Amino acid sequence: MRLHEYQAKEVFAEAGMPTPESVLAESTDEVLDAAESIGYPVAVKAQVHVGGRGKAGGIELAESDEEAREAADSILGMDLKGYTVERVLVEQAVDFVDELYVGVTMDRGAGEPVAMVSSEGGVDIESVAEESPEAIAREHVDPAFGMHHYQANRAVYDAGVDRAVASDVASVLTTLFDLWEDRDASEAEINPLMITGDDEVVAADAVMNIDDDALFRQPDLAEMEEAAAGDDLEAKANEYGFDYVRLDGNVGIIGNGAGLVMTTLDLVDYYGGEPANFLDIGGGAKAERVANALDMVFSDDNVDSVVFNLFGGITRGDEVARGINSAIEEFDELPKPVVVRLAGTNAEEGMEILNADALDVEQTLEGAVQRSVEQAGGAQ
């Protein structure tokens, strides 16, 4: 479960972490009231689960009622990478001189949690990790003992944080790790952690994702789940029981098995397309689940074409074919072109069952991906 920024900041503030004064608003009038209460300048920030909100126009600074009104009118109701913005966070603007990144997640390769600090905050940390991995200081933590103070201090030192704020940054990192552990989080980060001219540290952004399987022991966070869903697509994913990961492309992908889906994503990229999602229907999926998966992808406004990749093992090809037929029978005309590739158990029976008049059927995965990329507008 992904918390919205305003929800994560509530959790951070309760733990004693410094956050800007803020108010959640759902209308222009509420934005103006919040700005007047907080005092200008303020930041008006879209509350949707996407990265790069600032570059996409989802964050605006306002220094007057007129600018706050313009920001509210511009952001509320806008389509931000496929999400409709229904709420904004109005928060006190921070006059900063530097931006850092701090985060905690699980390093599955090492089998341990890892705490991270970087002096290159305020930018996409994944790009930093790819282009300048040495700019991120990492400290692995033994889960049996938790994070020691010397580890937080070492991570901050290795990241080259200014000595004047190093102690405060280390304290924020320690608190963040404790929250990550105590709250059953899969990821927690602050990007950016802003440094002011008075050498104060402020969590200007907040990310916190919670392990769904642990929500039973986090009742207060579980109550946030409906509000955290964000839009109809995520609500539908919860209803169907799918882990639907939305990406930035326009080629929808459905497969049975995480490895198979990842292979399909890689091939879409290889042939010049951009994946729109990650959707694994799992082994043994019945017709109803397959139909629900297609409904999910059809409901994603970012998707222009769909490639369905099945290798029959536990999931039989004929059962999946019935599910696909069941889904397309609900439409007089398919809203988006669908390319199907079946292989493995009962694949031949499935190919015979498929409604080839409404679908494109390919014998190979490469052929299916290439056709789907072409239908989505061709190589980028």
Among all residues, which ones are annotated catalytic? 101, 189
CA atoms of 136 and 139, how far apart (whole Å): 10
CA atoms of 305 and 14, how far apart (whole Å): 45
CB atoms inside a 10 Å sphere around CB 36: 13
The answer to whether 313 is annotated as binding is yes
CB atoms inside a 10 Å sphere around CB 77: 10
The answer to whether 346 is annotated as binding is no
The answer to whether 79 is annotated as binding is no
The answer to whether 45 is annotated as binding is yes
Pull the structure tokens for residue 308. Answer: 């369905």
Sign of CA dihedral 328, 333, 337, 339: positive
Burial class (CB in 10 A: 0-12, 13-18, 19+), 14: exposed
The answer to whether 39 is annotated as binding is no
The answer to whether 181 is annotated as binding is no
The answer to whether 315 is annotated as binding is yes
CA atoms of 200 and 171, how far apart (whole Å): 12
Is residue 279 within 8 Å of residue 297, measured between CB atoms? yes
The answer to whether 58 is annotated as binding is no
The answer to whether 241 is annotated as binding is no
Residues contacting residue 325 through CB under 8 Å, at least 6 positions apart:
353, 354, 355
Burial 60-72, CB ≥16 within 10 A → b, else e: bebeeeebbbebb
The answer to whether 292 is annotated as binding is no
The answer to whether 191 is annotated as binding is yes
Beta-sheet pairing, 136-140 with 112-118: antiparallel
Numbered residues of the known binding site for Mg(2+): 191, 205
Numbered residues of the known binding site: 45, 52-54, 91, 94, 99, 191, 205, 256, 313-315
Numbered residues of the known binding site for substrate: 256, 313-315
Numbered residues of the known binding site for ATP: 45, 52-54, 91, 94, 99
